[in-house]
Structure 1
């Protein structure tokens, strides 16, 4: 998971398969909490899943500022860099 498109594809798969979000609802500007209806427990689960996939430890502090799908992509790009 290195390129931006690979990150977006993987993230979309996780949101669809693990959180039962409709693929059509997922866009880069979609708010995770308001539009995609994730709660704080879902957010923790998402961070754990992304850590497993990337093999990187994701700083929970960095993810406190995450609000949109784009924010997650940006944080994952930082890890890949």
Structure 2
């Protein structure tokens, strides 16, 4: 699986676990809802600033998101 798809899947799972809609996440992260959709579908890749904004809104550490992706890719 491509990295952008792994990130998108992880983002969607985290968003749903937090009980948020795409619109709520976008508002809290100060991003556009359509951009959240593009991230979740793997059509866009986040910048470092975006990763931090999403992490804050989801109450996660950016490093935890990266670690989860590393696990799925097979990096340890």
TM-score (normalizing by structure 2): 0.42
Q: Which has the higher helix share?
A: 2
